[in-house]
């Protein structure tokens, strides 16, 4: 799936992503400031998370509960030094839990990513819109 969008179309984009039945573990790629966290917040809303959502930059993971009691984990590994830190926090328990796992900066843990996952790549276009690819 490829889609070009502006930030005011995030709700529609999140619905399109979910309609494409992505795997429960989704890696988010894109430069800093391109809107990965903003998209993840909208995906959480689409899944029925009603509480506040924020970037887990310092905590590494935030946990949210959706309407149907399913859990959503949002990871931000930007400040992670190595894969051992992820293992120490119990990353395997999260990734193989069957719950949604949205991972920013997954390139910091390449050897820990489950074989079955989806990837969302976001890039900023010259006109300020974003190009999103789901694979």
Q: What is the CATH number of the domain that holds 48?
A: 3.40.50.300
- Which residue intervals of the chain are DSSP H helices? 10-19, 36-46, 83-88, 91-95
With beta carbons less than 8 A apart as the criterion, state whether 105 and 15 touch: no
pTM as predicted: 0.94
- pLDDT band (50, 70, 90) for residue 58: low
Q: What is the pLDDT of residues 14-41, one digit of tens each?
A: 999 999 999 999 999 999 999 999 999 9
Q: How many domains does the chain have?
A: 1
Q: Decide: 16 and 132 in contact? Cβ < 8 Å.
A: no
pLDDT digits (tens, 9 = 90+) for 100-128: 999 999 999 999 999 999 999 999 999 99
- The boundaries of the domain holding residue 76 are 2-134
DSSP assignment of 52-63, as one string?
Answer: -----TTTSEEE
Q: Identify the CA nearest to 38 among candidates 9, 3, 10, 62.
A: 10
Q: What distance in Å separates the CA atoms of residue 32 and residue 110, rounded to the nearest whole number?
A: 19
Classify residue 116 by its DSSP letter. Answer: S
As a whole number of angstroms, the distance between CA 10 and CA 79 comes to 26
């Amino acid at each position: 799936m490829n889609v070009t969008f502006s930030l005011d179309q995030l709700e529609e984009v999140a619905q399109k992503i979910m309609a494409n039945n992505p795997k429960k573990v989704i890696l988010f790629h894109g430069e800093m400031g391109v809107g990965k966290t903003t998209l993840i917040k909208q995906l959480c809303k689409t899944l029925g998370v009603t509480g506040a959502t924020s970037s887990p930059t310092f905590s590494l993971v935030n946990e949210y509960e959706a309407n149907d009691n399913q859990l959503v984990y949002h990871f931000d590994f930007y400040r992670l030094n190595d894969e051992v830190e992820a293992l120490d926090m119990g990353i395997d328990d999260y990734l193989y839990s069957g719950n949604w796992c949205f991972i920013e900066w997954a390139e910091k843990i390449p050897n820990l990513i489950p074989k079955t996952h989806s990837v969302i790549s976001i890039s900023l276009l010259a006109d300020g819109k974003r190009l999103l690819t789901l694979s």
